[in-house]
Every structure is written in structure tokens, then in C-alpha cells.
Amino acid sequence: MTERHVLVLAAGKGTRMRSSRPKVLHRLSGCSLVEHVLRAADPLRATTTTLVVGHQAEAVERELGATRGGLGFVRQEQQLGTAHAVLQTEPLLAERRGTLVVLMGDAPLVSPTTARALAETHDRAAAAATVLTATIERPYGYGRIVRRAGQLAEVVEEADATPEQRALREVNSGIYAFDLAPLFPALRAVPEAGPKQERYLPGILRRYREQGLTIETVIAADHEIRGINSRHELAEAGFLMRHRKNEELMAAGVTIVDPATAYVDVDVEVGPDTVIHPGVILEGRTSVGARCELHAGVRIANSAVGNDVTVNDHSVIVDAEIAAGARVGPFAHIRPGSSIGEQARVGNFVEIKKSVLGAEAKAGHLSYIGDAAVGAGANIGAGTITCNFDGSEKHRTTIGDEAFVGSGTQLIAPVTVESGAYVAAGSCITEDVPAGALAVARGRQVNKEGRAAAMRRKNADSAQG
């Protein structure tokens, strides 16, 4: 098989993004633009994968270095055009032979299947260059494909195009396969062009045509070749990416009530017969089991949700685990480091932080559970609060299996309520409660007969005075 190499161009500034971040690190459905591009190239099984970086090169190298191995980086100090960018890899690739697949760091929608089709067509045709093209409704901004007798003759950039050429709707994706043998000499011969005197990579095609070398084209679906140059195009690409993900999930047996408002990142997994209601956001590395019900406005990020879980409306779950059969929300907040046990119940306006709730434990209403371990079957009454912070340090609360904590209890951590203990409602617990004990920690009530009227008079007097 022909040896393959991959090159991703990612040195440009992305001026039209008006951003302090490099364009290729902007995020789309949970990954950076350039990560999407690298994923499309994965099935090419390239011998080398190189990125040309320049603008904020360190940031791009740092992020990709942290998430991926096996990448080479080449610096393009001045961004003098896409042909100039490829030329920077000459010291690395000049001695290599085979196919170089060039991808644009800002064209993240290309699919792995299409990248493979490009390389395979190129190798089969033994072409000098193969260009991925598409016919699109609004070709503005793209290089236009000019054909003669059906053959690609040249690519004309927007700025250099005649009115007739601007009307052409077949455009250059910026994605190519090149035979390495004639590539670098030809790149060096590409003239400077356009308003910024750049050296355009498509310039090489005209030269190949003149030399009688074979140029192939592969035609892709229009949505695969979109380049991202502005926030508007970023949003459009997001729409297309979500559509693709939602179709995939529905084909695998997930019900999505309104796909237009389901925001599911590319790496999210969802099991069959789960129902996703409107306005649900599933982010990052999240997995949701089978037969779950995710109600309106739920956001789940980087979390693992088991089978048969119900998450009621407007709950937020971040960096947490929810075991099978649990019920969460509405309006619950499960924060990082939390684990909700099987069949457990977390109700309205309950916030759980860095805490474990055992199987079948319940915290139904208006509570804060932080830095706590709550045993299996324990019951946390409405309005219970773990007072975990003393102003300088966090402390832990431990609640044993089957313990009952009455409503409105404050647990001043560090403190332990042992298994089966019972805490009376309204208690302020400052000391450990032994297993099976009843703790009552509140002021005694005093009833003063007939004194209500006197109290009202006094209040009325002071209101007047």
C-alpha cells in the first residue's frame, strides 16, 4: 500500500473570528476544530501526522499535546499563504514518498469516510493531486473550481475571480491528496498572488495541469466542506454537527422529542429507549444508559448516568455519577465528585457536592449536602444542611445506613450520624450521634397562655411610635 502522511494547516490567525484564541482551538460540539479534523484523518493510518502552527503556536501545541500523542509540529512564523505553509514541512517530508493528505484546521466537518475516499481515489488514479470539492448554494469566500472539458483546470480565489467565475458553485474544500514526489519543487514555483501577496496552495494545480500531470477530484456533500472563518460560520457548523449526532442517536434507538433543541456533544453516548426532551444539553465525555428520561432543560456534563434514570426538568449534573434507577430533580444540582446510588432520590432544589448518596437514599427537598457520605436507605429531611465550611476549612459529614435526619437539621461538620440513628427535626447537630440513638438538639418550646393579644398591642404601639 502507498505510504500515507497527513498534514493539517493551522497557522492562520483567523482574523474574522475577532478572538483572542487561535481559531483552530474554538470549540464545536465538545472538541476543538482541529481535533475534529484530526479525527477525520484517523482512519488514514498515516505514517506521520504533522500540524503547521504559527499564530499562538504554543497554545495549539499545548492543547493537542495534552489530548493526543504522535503529532509533529512545524512552525510557520509568518503566515504567507497555504502553499507557503505546506512548504514549511519540506525538511520533514522531502525524503518521503507516497501520499500527503492536506486538511484545513478550520474545516472540521469532513467525515472520516470522505477523507478515506479522497486518499483511495487518489492512490487508485495515481494522480499528482486530488482535490475534494463540493457544490454549494452560497459559494462566497471559497475558491471556485474552474473546469475545462469536465477536468479541473484551476482554482480561482474569491478576490481574484471574474464575475462569471464568482457565479460558479463548485468550490474548493481546501482538502487535498498530493503525490509527494513532485510536490515540493512545484510548491516553490507557486507565484505570490492576491491582495496580500500570499502563495496559494491551489496555485499548484494550474502548474500540474500545464505539466500534464493527473489531477483528480472527489465530490463531497456540501455540509462536509464548510470552512469556519467567522462566528456565524462557527454557529452554522455547530448546527450541522448536532444534526449529524442526533441522526446517529435516533438511528441507534434514542428518542429525541425535538432534534432542533437537543445539544449533544460528539463524544456523548446514549443507550436505546432513552428519551431526550426539548432543551437538553449533554456535554463532553458523558454517557447515559438505556431507558432513561431526560426532561426539559437538563444539562449533564462529563458524567456517567446508568440505566433507567429519570432526570427531571432543569437539573444540572457535572462531573458526577448517577446509578441505575435513580431519580433526580426537578431543579437539582449535582456537582463534581458526587455519586448518587441506585434507586436513590434527589429532589427539588437539592445541591449535592463531592458527596456519595447510598442506594435508595433520599434527599427530597431544599437541601445542601457537601463533603458527605450518606448511607444506603438514609432519609434526609427537607431543608437539611451540612455545614461543611468553618470559614477556612472544609469538613466531612457521615450519615450511616438507614439513618433518619429530620427536616431543617443543620449538621455542623465534622460530624457523624451512625447507622439507624434518628435526628429530630430542627436539630443543630454538633456531636456524633451513636447508632440507633435519637438526637434532639433544639431549644425547648415555651407556650405563654393568652399572651398573643398583648403581643399584638405592643407591636401596634411601636409601629405608630
Catalytically active residues, by annotation: 365
Instruction: Confirm if 401 and 378 have CB atoms less than 8 A apart.
Output: yes
Tell me the closest approach of the beta carbon of residue 72 to Ca ion, in angstroms: 22
Contact map string, positions 20 to 49, toward ligand UD1, x by CB under 6 A: ------------------------------
Nearest partner of 310 among 264, 262, 269, 274, judged by Cα? 274
Choosing from 30, 108, 202, 227, the residue that interacts with Ca ion (CB under 5 A) is 227
Of the ranges 99-107, 246-254, 293-301, 318-326, which one interacts with ligand UD1 (CB under 6 A)?
Answer: 99-107
Using the rule CB under 6 A, which residue among 106, 170, 342, 402 binds ligand UD1? 106
Which residue's CB is nearer to ligand UD1, number 138 or number 451?
Answer: 138
C-alpha pair distances (Å), 236 with each of 114, 264, 267, 400, 460:
20, 15, 19, 52, 65
Residue 208, binding choice from Ca ion, ligand UD1, none, Cβ under 5 to 8 Å by partner class: none
Distance CA 398, CA 412 (A): 11
Q: How far is the CB of 138 from ligand UD1 (least distance, A)?
A: 13
> Applying CB under 6 A, which part among 60-68, 76-84, 290-298, 303-311 lies near ligand UD1?
76-84
Rounded Cα gap, residues 119 and 130, in angstroms: 8
Kindly state the smallest distance separating residue 413's Cβ from ligand UD1, in Å.
52
Determine if 170 is a binding residue for ligand UD1 (CB under 6 A).
no
Residue 84 near which of Ca ion, ligand UD1, none (CB within 5-8 Å, type-dependent): ligand UD1
**Which of 4, 7, 12, 358 lies at the binding interface for ligand UD1 (CB under 6 A)?**
12
Determine the Cα angle at 161 with ends 156 and 165, to 5°: 85
Instruction: State the Cα angle at 293 between 288 and 298, rounded to 5°.
Output: 80
Q: Is the peptide bond before 414 cis (omega within 30 degrees of 0)?
A: yes
Binding-residue pattern over the window 92 to 111 for Ca ion, x denoting contact by CB under 5 A: --------------x-----
Residue 20 one-letter amino acid: S
Cell of 428: 443543630
CB of 144 to Ca ion, least distance (A): 15
Tell me the sheet residues that pair with 144: 156, 171
Count of residues interacting with Ca ion (CB under 5 A)? 3
| HSE-CB of 148 using CA atoms within 13 angstroms | 6
